Each structure stands twice: as structure tokens, then as C-alpha cells.
Amino acid sequence: MIGKVLKYMRIKKNWNQSQLAKKIESAQTTLSGWETGFRQPTFEIIEKIANTCGFDVIFKNRETKEEFKASDLERKDI
């Protein structure tokens, strides 16, 4: 599932895998593995790809409708 999201973001920027891989300082084969589901990226990588492609990672509570961006949180235990 996450692979489809990563591919969607990349295609929206009209980049091929090599172009995005270079921008995120990763190998094209690694990016391909993430997109096909052969490998699983870390959350940090997902966030880096989203930011590079101009997207935000947003969490939404279905009950309260509260939303926050991953970038709004400090990287420490709450």
C-alpha cells in the first residue's frame, strides 16, 4: 500500500525513480523496492519523500476530526 502512495507522489512531480532517488540520496533500486512492496521504508523515509514531492504527512482522528502534521511534532516521546 505505501508503495503505491510513494509512486503516486513521485509521478505527480513528473519524476522518474532515478530523479527522486537522487533527490533523497538513495539508490534507484532501493526506491523501486519500496514502490513495489519488496522492501518497506521507514517512517522517516516516507516523510522525506513526501516533503521532497511537496506533500505533507497528516494524521486525522476519525472521531474528533483533529488533524496534525508529522512535521508539527517534536521528535521525542510525548
Structural domains in the chain? 2-72 (1.10.260.40)
Query: At 78, is the pLDDT very low, low, confident or very high (cuts 50, 70, 90)?
Result: low
Query: pTM score, two decimals?
Result: 0.86
Q: How many C-beta neighbours within 10 Å does residue 11 have?
A: 12
pLDDT at 72: 80
| Position 77 pLDDT exceeds 60 | no
- Give the dihedral of Cα atoms 20, 14, 57, 60; nearest 10 deg: -150
* CA 4 to each of CA 40, 62, 67, 74: distance values in angstroms, whole numbers, following the listed order: 12, 23, 23, 27
Mean pLDDT, residues 57-76: 86
Q: What is the pLDDT of residues 16-47, one digit of tens each?
A: 999 999 999 999 999 999 999 999 999 999 99
